[in-house]
Amino acid sequence: MQASDSATHSVPVAELYDSAEGQLGPILFGGHLHWGFWDADNADDDFAGGSEKLAQLMINKTTIGQDEHFCDLGCGVGLPAIKLAQVKHCYVDGVTISGYQQHNATERAAAAGLQERVNFIHASALSIPKPDLSYDGGWFFESIFHMGHKAALKEAARVLKPGATLLLTDLPLLPTATDDFKQFVKQHIHSEFVTQTDYPTLFAEAGFALVECWDITENVMKPLVGKFKQALEQHKDAVAACADDKAVDNWVYLFEYMSENLGYVLITARKL
Ligand SMILES: C[S@@+](CC[C@H](N)C(=O)[O-])C[C@H]1O[C@@H](n2cnc3c(N)ncnc32)[C@H](O)[C@@H]1O
């Protein structure tokens, strides 16, 4: 599918993920493009292991049934969508603003023999090229802060059926987050974060009941930088092929800065 008009308007985020560094993410994170969850059961896992565990937690939280339709809004290179379809036997549409990711995810679905069940669309999740009430469930898996929470929830509410479960992982600003940090992430990773206290109003105004907000900051943000440095070392040849030392230092600095200023939550909501 061609990029919609609104996809071409969000060029900076697309460029971030289309870049060589953006393409390195899934190599470091075991095919995922989200961070990881570590607890006593998997404390020694590497980044890929932690990312896989977080994906399993998300899949376990969905209520999607066999042959129902699910939307993955900001789908990366598609591994969470593919795993969801394998476990739940549902249909999944993944939406990404990145042309590279749509292409890569489509190849992954075909390799898994799931091209009839899992479809990747190059478009903006703020203008999903699907009719109202198309989906029985959906998630924003570490993606909504690139889109703007209010507009993204409004568009999700349009395409979800009443009663559908919407999951999110999100990175709320800590009470100590600084204005310098907010400016930095807006400029460098095209992200705007909200606080946990913003959620009740945001969800209610978009037409969702907020069911659960599970704070997993300790499991995600505390181990983050150490696991990331380990992943850079594990994949040093791939890293060297597309990033110089300065770029790697900047990346570590970004992760340190984010872990000082942001928490991490897994949210369950229900479309009213
Ligand atoms: C941190 S990655 C998470 C990827 C994936 N959900 C995962 O867990 O592996 C953020 C994703 O949001 C996507 N994204 C950002 N803005 C978007 C938009 N307006 N519409 C669709 N996708 C968007 C990016 O292309 C990327 O795939």
**Residue 3 confidence class, pLDDT cut points 50, 70, 90:** very low
- 169 pairs with which residues across the strands? 141, 266
21, 75, 118, best to mutate for ligand 1 pocket (most atoms within 8 Å of CB) = 75
Element (H, E) at 270: strand 265-271
CB of 152 closer than 6 A to ligand 1? no
The pLDDT tens digits of the residues spanning 85-135 come to: 999 999 999 999 999 999 999 999 999 999 999 999 999 999 999 999 999
Minimal-distance CA residue to ligand 1 atom 18: 124
Q: Is 47 helix (H, G, I), strand (E, B) or coil?
A: helix
Mean pLDDT of all residues in 206-232: 98
DSSP state letters, 206-246 = HTEEEEEEEE-HHHHHHHHHHHHHHHHHHTHHHHHHH--HH
pLDDT at position 242 is 86
- Give the start-to-end residue ranges of the domains of the chain: 5-271
3-state secondary structure of 166: strand
- The alpha helices in 10-76, defined as continuous H runs, are 11-18, 20-28, 47-61
Class for the domain spanning 5-271:
alpha beta
Residue nearest to atom 7 of ligand 1 (CA): 33
Q: Give yes or no for residue 6 having a pLDDT over 60.
A: no
Tokens of 238: 């791939």
Contact 213, 267 (CB under 8 A): yes
Average of per-residue pLDDT across 268-272 = 98
Q: What is the mean pLDDT of residues 2-14?
A: 54
Measured from the CB, is residue 144 less than 6 Å from ligand 1? no
Q: How confident is the model over 28-72, as pLDDT tens digits? A: 999 999 999 999 999 999 999 999 999 999 999 999 999 999 999
Q: What is the mean pLDDT of residues 248-254?
A: 94
Q: Locate the ligand 1 atom nearest the alpha carbon of residue 126 and give its number.
A: 19
CB 13 less than 6 A from any atom of ligand 1: yes
74 touches ligand 1 (CB under 6 Å): yes
**Is the pLDDT confidence value at 7 over 50?**
no
Backbone angles phi, psi at 164, to 5 degrees: -65, 145
- 72 with 80: CB under 8 angstroms? yes
Place of tokens 């036997």: 89
